[in-house]
Amino acid sequence: MTTTPVPTERVGFIGLGTMGGAMARNLVRAGFDVTVWNRTPGRDTDVVALGAHGASTPREVAERSDVVVLCVTDTPQVREVLDAPDGLASGLRPGSLIVDCSTISPLATQEFAAQLGEVGVHWIDAPVSGGSEGAERATLSIMVGGDDADVARAQPVLAAMGSTITHVGGVGAGQWTKAVNQVILAGSYLAVAEGVTLGLNAGLDMTKVVGALSGGAAGSWILSNRAQRMIDNEYPLGFKISLHRKDLGIALALADHAHTSLPLARMAAAFEDELIAQGYGDEDNSALARVVRGDVVVPGDA
């Protein structure tokens, strides 16, 4: 009879939003001793009810953990969590490992890793993809940048949160990969929205059409999981437009850094800016279809 080894590393988790809350719960279910903290009070209720320990500061998380997972919104929040009074940096010990699942600048990632490396703290960047469904089901795709030994050490933690874990290179490579991911998603959402809108305007039963296309060359995760929202013109949250726009901002800055033209991503960014301006920023990213359907008009395209 094979038994599952009991995790020995104590895990901290900071950032209990739509993605992070589900990821932290899966770590508790996997048997880890988990300590959590969130900027907004009250977001830790579910994970604490499962058996996690609540902390009052990031420093307390660091002091009670061997590995700390971050899942916050952006680069400034990572910096604040690290460097604020009672921040993570004040409680980390030599040998501690940071696993940053936030989506932030890879250039800032390398800065943070170098800063903490001076005091013996290790860092891997491990941004995720798969939406709220993947976070709940522990089926996220995780793109990992870091030293081989650090990635190997983090493997049990990552495996509790995702099903596809790929070590893509050194520190920062995970964030570069996530930028590529978000650029591809931008074009994919727009392409599916255009196809759905064309079919609707032609009077087709688009639910049947999507079923027919999903098994062929046009098949994709977005077609299978988001086309129905575009057909219904209803966009319950999976991943916020405002967060994807933040990610595209990182990708577009990196494109300038790498002397790369991204015309489709820039178009998607302009569409998302208008959606956010008109109050749709908290809807799922599939609400890009509102622009294609003509419900939201982007200035200059009227």
Of 178, 208, 240, 246, catalytic = 178
Percent of the chain with pLDDT over 90: 92
- Two tokens, residue 265: 């991503």
User: So what's the pLDDT on residue 8?
Assistant: 83
Q: Would the pTM of this model clear 0.85, i.e. be above it?
A: yes
Percent of the chain with pLDDT over 70: 97
3-state secondary structure string across 143-212:
EEECCHHHHHHHHHHHHCCEEEEEEEECCCHHHHHHHHHHHHHHHHHHHHHHHHHHHHHCCCCHHHHHHH
Task: Name the band, by pLDDT with cuts 50, 70 and 90, for residue 70.
Answer: very high
For the stretch 34-53, pLDDT in tens is 999 999 888 999 999 999 99
* Mean pLDDT of the chain, nearest integer: 95
Task: Name the band, by pLDDT with cuts 50, 70 and 90, for residue 301.
Answer: low
Beta bridge partners of 164: 141
* SS3 call for 128: strand
User: For residue 157, how far is the Cα from the chain centroid?
Assistant: 16
- Two tokens, residue 257: 């850094």
Q: Is pLDDT above 50 for 29?
A: yes
Cβ–Cβ < 8 Å for 195, 272 = no
Mean pLDDT of all residues in 85-107: 97
User: So what's the pLDDT on residue 237?
Assistant: 87
Task: Name the band, by pLDDT with cuts 50, 70 and 90, for residue 2.
Answer: very low
User: So what's the pLDDT on residue 4?
Assistant: 57
Mean pLDDT of all residues in 90-103: 97
User: So what's the pLDDT on residue 1?
Assistant: 43
Mean pLDDT of all residues in 10-32: 97
Q: Is pLDDT above 90 for 250?
A: yes
Beta bridge partners of 12: 35, 68
Q: What is the DSSP pairing of strand 140-145 with strand 162-169? A: parallel
Q: Is pLDDT above 70 for 169?
A: yes
For the stretch 116-132, pLDDT in tens is 999 999 999 999 999 89
Q: What is the DSSP pairing of strand 128-129 with strand 140-145? A: antiparallel
* SS3 call for 67: strand
Domains and CATH numbers, the chain: 10-170 (3.40.50.720), 176-293 (1.10.1040.10)
Question: What is the greatest pairwise CA distance in the chain?
Answer: 67
Q: Is pLDDT above 70 for 6?
A: no
For the stretch 266-288, pLDDT in tens is 999 999 999 999 999 999 999 99
Determine whether 240 is an active site residue: no
Mean pLDDT of all residues in 165-194: 97
Q: Is pLDDT above 80 for 97?
A: yes
Task: Name the band, by pLDDT with cuts 50, 70 and 90, for residue 93.
Answer: very high
The upper half-sphere exposure of residue 37, i.e. CA atoms within 13 Å in the direction of its Cβ, equals 23
User: So what's the pLDDT on residue 228?
Assistant: 98
For the stretch 220-236, pLDDT in tens is 999 999 999 999 999 99
CA distances for 31 relative to 1, 36, 37, 69, angstroms: 19, 15, 18, 16
- Two tokens, residue 147: 């030293």
Backbone φ and ψ for 203, nearest 5 degrees, come out as 85, 15
User: So what's the pLDDT on residue 299?
Assistant: 84
Q: Is pLDDT above 60 for 188?
A: yes
Report the b/e string of 38-72 with b at 16+ CB within 10 A.
beeeebbeebbeeebbebebbbbbbbbbbbbbbbb
Backbone φ and ψ for 84, nearest 5 degrees, come out as -65, 160
Please tell me the distance from the alpha carbon of residue 123 to that of residue 144, in angstroms, as a whole number. Answer: 11
